[in-house]
Structure 1
């Protein structure tokens, strides 16, 4: 199995025919930024009638959505605001940066590997752009860490996946889980006032981009399974079930990690609870956090065509948990 150094990611070499999307030179003005953010949040297909999963119309709409809602922000020109000492300490102390950077590094390669394997050129281009955006997220995190003196753990080379479909499913469903909670935590951070509003605003395009990513994934999964003959669909559903079991086990257990000084330590893969305490100062209950996650999930998806499928598993599980908590 070949490995890719952490700082080398040649998407055009992995996915033949891919070309990076155009990005504006210099720093865009406030009007251009506002318009880019609006386009990233709102999209409706010009096609009339239902978008049946697996159909040509569904595929066209999904891929068109992902192209049209692209936000051309450049990590190099993002403005990292000056922070007071207390805010800086809170940022540096958040237990997420190492795993966030490494997760993006793995995601970009897994998505690129699966995009390379796709025969459909339009869906292949959409997934390749998704991989490109994951690499941009990694760049954003690295630049933020450098701006605030956050010491990141050394990155090991990223391994080319043996089974690209399995790797893509693990990444896609993992993002569905993590993004659902991240939406709520992000809003909790905004409302708590513990973090500079300018810093929260800087990360807003990244958060909405994650919403686009899992919208693409949910519709790819529906498109893909609908096109499979019944015997291959049984295998696919078994693989999906295995992925969910794997992700559940991963989040229950403790993942080994390397700290900034090279020492091994245990790091909880499910950092939702510790993250909630960090961004709110402990001022939010588990029930309130789950309700906030549901509201933010609905809000972030509200601007996209209602005929496109939304990730449904995490919202359903949390609504069920809330009923039990009553």
Structure 2
């Protein structure tokens, strides 16, 4: 993510070379040399954090059984150790051409996107407070903090480009905290799968300028980390339950999927589902798809989502479980569309 850094009292953009009035033969001043070194160090730090966010392998070798303490330790450490410490307040949003600015500001997603992240953050933090295991609680708190940071990133983006938002609602904890966590996790599994393909389509088509794509890229990858963490938590939690509690949990997950299907059908019919906020969550990829993917056939869009999903998951320890439900549904649907 493109950011500015403080060095010797100066703000240095690590992607922009130092310029000045001196000629190439003039010896740079100590301050100029220090700024150049600071910019190089900053660029290296950005690259290292970005690589660490996308690539992680647990140093402990051997098989890992779902539901085991080793499994819990692994997926929690994956999230904690791949955290990218970028700060939204110092993101250097690129200047856009009038055409690019019109494309960005005309997207009908910004209110929905900001509110989605606000709801996700409160739901994840609420679930984190219920956890007794300190490592799991820390990982969930990190997850919730990153969701809150996504909201700040989006707020800074709309501020930078003069996008007007509707007043935000009050974000309240859900009455059923586990239900809120499950709805958030499975919603992200659906929405992130679609977002991976849409983001790639926007990048490859030039719909978004390359500088804006680079700036926003870490947010998309963080969502990949979140769903990887979530599906491993589900597998761990299900396996760690006593046998007599597993049917109730399975039924709750089934109800969550029915809820998500119903809200997406409601959106397709322009029906507002209910007050829990799920319908607006789902609207993000649907609106984006309509705007960004007009030149792609449904089949090619599904193919792109599958490729991008695999690419974004490829750098993490192969022993961690991958999201399977949405990719399986996408492959099934692909048989019937061109």
Instruction: Give the aligned partner of residue 129 of structure 1.
Output: 142
Aligned to 1:315: 327
- SS in structure 1 at match of 2:129: helix
After superposition, where does 1:161-240 map in structure 2 within 5 Å?
Answer: 161-240=174-253
The corresponding residue for 1:295 is 307
Unaligned runs of 5+ in 2: 7-11, 15-41, 274-278
Q: Is 1:62 matched up with 2:75?
A: yes
Q: Say which one has the larger Rg.
A: 2
Query: 1: CA distance between counterparts of 2:236 and 2:133?
Result: 12
Q: Could you say if the C-alpha distance between residues 269 and 217 of structure 1 is closer, same or farther in structure 2, counting changes exceeding 3 Å?
A: closer
Further displaced range: 111-120 or 24-33 = 24-33
The whole-number CA distance in structure 1 between the counterparts of 2:248 and 2:218 is 37
Query: In 2, Cα distance between the equivalents of 1:313 and 1:297?
Result: 12
Secondary structure of the 1:253 match is helix
Is residue 82 of structure 1 aligned with residue 117 of structure 2? no
Match of 2:30 in 1: none
1:193 and 1:103 map into 2 onto residues whose CA distance is 26
Cα deviation, residue 324, structure 1: 2.8
Distance 1:303 1:322 in 2: 26
Give the CA deviation at 1:274: 3.9
Q: Following TM superposition, by how much is the alpha carbon of 1:293 offset from its aligned partner in structure 2, in angstroms?
A: 0.2
SS in 1 for 2:175: coil
Does the CA contact (< 8 Å) of 2:192 and 2:224 recur in 1? Answer: yes
Report the Cα offset of residue 256 of structure 1. Answer: 4.7
Question: Which of 72, 80, 86 is 1:73 aligned to?
Answer: 86
Check conservation: 1:161, 1:167, Cα contact below 8 A: yes
Give the RMSD, CA atoms, in angstroms. 1.9
Cα deviation for residue 277 of structure 1 reads: 4.0
Report the counterpart of residue 116 of structure 2 in structure 1.
103
**Does the 8 Å CA contact 2:50/2:218 hold for their aligned counterparts?**
yes
- Residues 112, 281 of structure 2: 8 Å contact kept: no
| Aligned partner of residue 117 in structure 1, secondary structure | coil
* Mapped partners of 1:245, 1:312: distance in 2: 17
Q: Which runs of 5+ in 1 are unaligned?
A: 1-23, 258-265
1:250 aligns with 2:251: no
Question: What count of residue pairs does the alignment treat as equivalent?
Answer: 294
Conserved in 1, the CA contact under 8 Å of 2:116 and 2:280? no
SS of aligned partner of 1:94: coil
8 Å CA contact retained: 1:130, 1:213: yes
Q: Counterpart of 1:158 in 2: which secondary structure? A: coil
Post-superposition CA distance 1:25-82 (Å, at most 9, x none): 7477221111110000000011221111110111111111111101000001111111
TM-score, length-normalised on structure 1? 0.86
Correspondence 1:153 to 2:166: yes
User: Which of 277, 293, 297 is the aligned partner of 1:285?
Assistant: 297
CA distance in 1, matches of 2:316, 2:61: 15
